[in-house]
Amino acid sequence: MKAMILAAGRGERMRPLTDRTPKPLLRIGGQTLIEHHVHALVRAGINELVINHAHLGEQLVAALGEGGAYGATIHWSPEPEGALETGGGIFNALSLLNDEPFVVVNADIWTDFDCADLPAQPDGLAHLVLVDNPAHHPQGDFVLDGTQVSRDGPVQLTFSGIGVYRHELFTGCSAGAFPLAPLLRTAMDAGQVSGQHYAGRWFDIGTPERLEAINDIVINMQ
């Protein structure tokens, strides 16, 4: 099983921190965000990685190289300035991923979720990890009914930025920038998205203030 780490975002809400440093190289608990994900994926037995990049991407390549220092093999998927959004970024990298389902992780989160708990063969086109709604996103994103994910319902959970996708989710897509969410919603309407709820530690690194607060939490955990 391969994994893709999404690391091409500009990080506008993190400015000025991201004016000279790409968001995935910001540090939590003394470790960069992207190193945290690489280590976590390797511990889960996933060492074939694809990482996309755009804004200041050369810094990411210089920091991680080909992944040997982490016990991984990293393939880089460069994108044009401005990036390709989540859906377009994954679609652009499909040739670097084999025909099997693959894991995707957002680089701008911190979590202790174990990717070994993800299904290697999801029942449908996608499998999502959902978490309790953080204070900054109280409305949530999707509904989890047993193991089925839908877009509407009384109790919404937040999409963690961790999922497993089949290549067929992107059937009919064309090269260029496009979001992932509409593809997921279409698949949900067809009953093709499963999911799981993770109640452990998960943080969205969205602003400098949240970065500082989460850093304190993680350091105190160690």
Q: What is the pLDDT tens value at each position of the chain, 222 positions in all?
A: 999 999 998 777 878 888 899 999 999 988 999 999 999 999 999 999 999 999 899 999 999 999 999 999 999 999 998 889 999 999 999 999 989 999 999 999 999 999 999 999 999 999 999 999 999 899 999 999 999 999 988 889 999 999 999 999 999 999 999 999 999 999 999 999 999 999 999 999 888 888 888 888 887 775
Q: Are strands 156-165 and 126-131 parallel, antiparallel or unpaired?
A: antiparallel
pLDDT of residue 140: 95
Ramachandran bin of 30, using left for φ above 0, alpha for ψ from -120 to 50, beta for the remaining angles? left
What's the Cα-to-Cα distance from 70 to each of 10, 109, 110, rounded to whole Å?
A: 25, 19, 18
Can you tell me the distance from the alpha carbon of 163 to that of 102, in angstroms, rounded to the nearest whole number? 8
Number of domains composing the chain: 1
- Percentages helix, strand, coil for the chain (3-state, rounded to 5) are 30, 25, 40
Task: Give the 3-state secondary structure of residue 58.
Answer: helix
Reported as type and span, the H/E element at residue 116 is none
Find out whether 65 and 92 touch, Cβ atoms under 8 Å. Answer: no
Report the amino acid identity of residue 191: G
Tokens of 31: 């470790």
Closest CA to 98 of 193, 6, 3: 3
* 87 found inside a domain: yes
Is 209 among the domain residues?
no
- pLDDT given for residue 215 in this prediction: 85
Residue 213 located in a structural domain: no
List the domain range (segments joined by +) for residue 159. 2-202
**212 assigned to some structural domain:** no
CATH classification at residue 153:
3.90.550.10
Give pLDDT, residue 221: 73
Q: Is residue 222 part of a domain?
A: no
Residue found by looking up tokens 């701008």 in the block: 108
Note whether 13 and 206 are within 8 A (CB).
Answer: yes
CB-based burial, 127-142: b 16+ in 10 Å, e otherwise: bbbbbeeeeeeeebbb
Rounded to two decimals, the pTM is: 0.95
Whether a cis peptide bond, with omega within 30° of 0, leads into 134 is no
Identify whether 32 is part of a domain. yes
pLDDT of residue 222: 58
Structural domain contains residue 208: no
Q: Tell me the two tokens of residue 172.
A: 């009919």
Q: pLDDT tens digits for 11-68?
A: 778 788 888 999 999 999 889 999 999 999 999 999 999 999 998 999 999 999 999 9
Dist. CA 197–CA 170, nearest whole Å: 24
CB 50 within 8 A of CB 97: yes
Beta bridge partners of 144: 149
CA dihedral 163, 167, 173, 177 (to 10 degrees): 40
Residue 83 counted as domain residue = yes
Locus of tokens 């004016």 = 19
